[in-house]
Amino acid sequence: MEEEFKVTPWEVSGEIDYERLMQNFGTTPIDEALLRRLGGYGELHPMLKRGIFYCHRDMNQLLDRFDRGERFFLYTGRGPSGNTHLGHLMPWIFAKWLQDTFKVPLLFQMTDDEKFLFKDLSLDETRRLSYDNALDFVALGFDPDSTEIILDTENIRSLYPIALKVAKKVTFSTAKAVFGFDNSANIGAIFFTTIQAAPAFLPTEQSGVQTPCLIPCGIDQDPHFRVARDVAPGLDYPKPAMLYCKMFPGLGGGDKMSSSDPMSTIYTTDGPKDVRKKVGRAFTGGCVTVEEQREKGGNPEVCAIFKYNYYLFEEDDGKINDLAGRCKRGEVLCGECKAALTDKINLFLEGHQARREQAREVVDGMTFEGFEW
Amino acid sequence: MEEEFKVTPWEVSGEIDYERLMQNFGTTPIDEALLRRLGGYGELHPMLKRGIFYCHRDMNQLLDRFDRGERFFLYTGRGPSGNTHLGHLMPWIFAKWLQDTFKVPLLFQMTDDEKFLFKDLSLDETRRLSYDNALDFVALGFDPDSTEIILDTENIRSLYPIALKVAKKVTFSTAKAVFGFDNSANIGAIFFTTIQAAPAFLPTEQSGVQTPCLIPCGIDQDPHFRVARDVAPGLDYPKPAMLYCKMFPGLGGGDKMSSSDPMSTIYTTDGPKDVRKKVGRAFTGGCVTVEEQREKGGNPEVCAIFKYNYYLFEEDDGKINDLAGRCKRGEVLCGECKAALTDKINLFLEGHQARREQAREVVDGMTFEGFEW
What's the pLDDT tens digit per position in A219-233?
A: 999 999 999 999 999
pLDDT at B276 over 60: yes
> Would you call B183 an interface residue with chain A, using a CB distance cutoff of 8 Å?
yes
> Would you call A186 an interface residue with chain B, using a CB distance cutoff of 8 Å?
yes
pLDDT at B15: 86
pLDDT at B253: 77
Residue A247: name the closest of A271, A207, A220 by CA. A220
Whole-angstrom Cα distance, residue A118 to residue A124? 14
Please give the mean pLDDT across all residues of chain A: 93
* Residues A280, A338 contacting (CB under 8 angstroms): yes
Specify the pairing of strand B241-245 against strand B213-218. parallel
Please give the mean pLDDT across all residues of chain B: 93
pLDDT at A371 over 50: no
Whole-angstrom Cα distance, residue B95 to residue B214? 10
Which of A117, A173, A187 lies at the smallest CB-CB distance from B184? A173
Three-state secondary-structure class, residue B144: helix
Within B78-215, residue ranges assigned H as helices are 86-102, 112-118, 123-139, 152-167, 172-179, 187-207
pLDDT at A262: 78
Mean pLDDT of A45-56: 97
Q: What percent of chain A has pLDDT over 70?
A: 95
pLDDT tier for residue B271 given thresholds of 50, 70 and 90: very high
Please tell me the pTM assigned to this model: 0.95
Q: How far is CA A76 from CA A94, A96, A99, A210, in A?
A: 10, 11, 12, 19
B231 CA to chain A: closest CA distance, Å?
Answer: 13
Contact yes or no for B117 and A167 at CB 8 A: yes
* Residues A108, A127 contacting (CB under 8 angstroms): no
ipTM over 0.90: yes
Contact yes or no for A168 and B188 at CB 8 A: yes
Cβ-Cβ contacts under 8 Å between A and B: the total is 112
The residue among A119, A164, A174, A178 with the most chain B CBs within 10 A of its CB, best to mutate, is A164
* Residues B38, B46 contacting (CB under 8 angstroms): no
> Would you call A194 an interface residue with chain B, using a CB distance cutoff of 8 Å?
yes
Domain ranges of chain A: 6-248, 262-359
Specify the pairing of strand A213-218 against strand A241-245. parallel
* Residues B170, B194 contacting (CB under 8 angstroms): yes
Whole-angstrom Cα distance, residue A12 to residue A26? 18
End-to-end distance of chain B based on CA atoms, in angstroms? 46
Whole-angstrom Cα distance, residue A306 to residue A311? 9
Chain A residues within 8 A of B191 when measuring between CB atoms: 167, 187-188, 190-191
- Which of A82-86, A261-265, B296-300 bottoms out in mean pLDDT, i.e. has the lowest? A261-265
A126 CA to chain B: closest CA distance, Å?
Answer: 12
Region for B103 from its dihedrals, namely left if φ exceeds 0, alpha if ψ lies in -120 to 50, beta otherwise: left
Q: How far is CA B312 from CA B213, B243, B300, B336, in A?
A: 26, 17, 15, 18
pLDDT at B295: 94
pLDDT at B4: 78
Contact yes or no for B117 and A194 at CB 8 A: no
pLDDT at B1: 44
Residues 6+ positions from A243 with CB-CB distance below 8 Å: A30, A53, A56, A59, A94, A98, A214, A215, A216, A217
pLDDT at A181: 95
Superfamily of the domain at B6-251: HUPs (3.40.50.620)
pLDDT at B189 over 80: yes
What's the pLDDT tens digit per position in B194-248?
A: 999 999 999 999 999 999 999 999 999 999 999 999 999 999 999 999 999 999 9
pLDDT at B254: 67
pLDDT at B337: 97
Q: What percent of chain B has pLDDT over 90?
A: 87
Whole-angstrom Cα distance, residue B140 to residue A321? 79
Whole-angstrom Cα distance, residue A335 to residue A287? 12
- Which of A73-87, B245-259, B319-333 bottoms out in mean pLDDT, i.e. has the lowest? B245-259
> Would you call B171 an interface residue with chain A, using a CB distance cutoff of 8 Å?
yes
Which of A117, A176, A194 lies at the smallest CB-CB distance from B188? A194
Whole-angstrom Cα distance, residue B10 to residue A1? 43
What's the pLDDT tens digit per position in B311-344?
A: 999 999 999 999 999 999 999 999 999 999 999 9
Cα torsion for A360, A365, A367, A371, to the nearest 10°?
-90
A193 CA to chain B: closest CA distance, Å?
Answer: 9
Superfamily of the domain at A262-359: Tyrosyl-Transfer RNA Synthetase (1.10.240.10)
pLDDT at B139: 97
Q: What percent of chain B has pLDDT over 70?
A: 95
Whole-angstrom Cα distance, residue B188 to residue B193? 9
Kindly tell me the sign of the dihedral angle through the C-alpha atoms of A256, A259, A265, A270.
Answer: positive
DSSP A189-209: HHHHHHHHHHHHHHHHHHHSS
Whole-angstrom Cα distance, residue B183 to residue A170? 10
The residue among B187, B227, B372 with the most chain A CBs within 10 A of its CB, best to mutate, is B187
Nearest CA in chain A to B182: A172
Whole-angstrom Cα distance, residue B74 to residue B96? 10
Contact yes or no for A113 and B160 at CB 8 A: yes
Mean pLDDT of B1-11: 77
Mean pLDDT of A60-69: 98
Residue A92: name the closest of A2, A190, A217 by CA. A217
* Residues A227, A9 contacting (CB under 8 angstroms): no
More confident position, A262 or A344: A344
pLDDT at A1 over 70: no
Contact yes or no for B167 and A157 at CB 8 A: no
Query: Hey, which residues does B243 pair with through a beta bridge?
Result: B56, B216
- Which of A305-309, B159-163, B243-247, B366-370 bottoms out in mean pLDDT, i.e. has the lowest? B366-370
In chain A, positions 60-119, which contact chain B (CB-CB < 8 Å)?
113, 116-117
Chain B residues within 8 A of A153 when measuring between CB atoms: 157, 160-161, 164
pLDDT tier for residue A373 given thresholds of 50, 70 and 90: very low
What's the pLDDT tens digit per position in A357-368?
A: 999 988 877 665
In chain B, positions 32-51, which contact chain A (CB-CB < 8 Å)?
none
More confident position, A252 or A340: A340
Query: Hey, which residues does B217 pair with through a beta bridge?
Result: B244
* Residues A187, B231 contacting (CB under 8 angstroms): no
Chain B residues within 8 A of A123 when measuring between CB atoms: 161, 164-165
pLDDT tier for residue A280 given thresholds of 50, 70 and 90: very high
What's the pLDDT tens digit per position in A233-246?
A: 999 999 999 999 99
More confident position, B367 or B98: B98
B17 CA to chain A: closest CA distance, Å?
Answer: 31
Mean pLDDT of A69-86: 96
pLDDT at A78 over 70: yes
Contact yes or no for B164 and A194 at CB 8 A: no
> Would you call B368 an interface residue with chain A, using a CB distance cutoff of 8 Å?
no
> Would you call B372 an interface residue with chain A, using a CB distance cutoff of 8 Å?
no
A33 CA to chain B: closest CA distance, Å?
Answer: 40
What's the pLDDT tens digit per position in B120-138?
A: 999 999 999 999 999 999 9
3-state class percentages of chain B: helix first, strand second, coil last, to nearest 5: 55, 10, 30
Chain B residues within 8 A of A115 when measuring between CB atoms: none
Strand runs (DSSP E) across chain B, as ranges? Answer: 6-8, 11-13, 28-29, 53-57, 73-78, 106-110, 147-151, 213-218, 241-245
> Would you call B160 an interface residue with chain A, using a CB distance cutoff of 8 Å?
yes
pLDDT at B367: 60
pLDDT at B3: 53
B204 CA to chain A: closest CA distance, Å?
Answer: 16
Chain B residues within 8 A of A170 when measuring between CB atoms: 186-187
Contact yes or no for B164 and A193 at CB 8 A: no
Q: Phi then psi for A111, rounded to 5 degrees?
A: -95, 70
> Would you call B194 an interface residue with chain A, using a CB distance cutoff of 8 Å?
yes
pLDDT at A33: 98
What's the pLDDT tens digit per position in A6-33?
A: 889 998 888 899 999 999 999 999 999 9
Superfamily of the domain at A6-248: HUPs (3.40.50.620)
Contact yes or no for B113 and A153 at CB 8 A: no
Which amino acid, one-letter code, is at B110?
A: M
pLDDT at A294 over 50: yes
How many CA within 13 A on the CB side of residue B298? 28
- Which of A73-82, A140-149, A157-166, B64-73 bottoms out in mean pLDDT, i.e. has the lowest? A140-149
Whole-angstrom Cα distance, residue B372 to residue B363? 18
Chain A residues within 8 A of B164 when measuring between CB atoms: 113, 116-117, 123, 153, 188
A313 CA to chain B: closest CA distance, Å?
Answer: 40
B98 CA to chain A: closest CA distance, Å?
Answer: 32
Which of A116, A169, A187 lies at the smallest CB-CB distance from B170? A187
pLDDT at A370 over 50: no
Whole-angstrom Cα distance, residue B224 to residue B197? 7
A207 CA to chain B: closest CA distance, Å?
Answer: 16
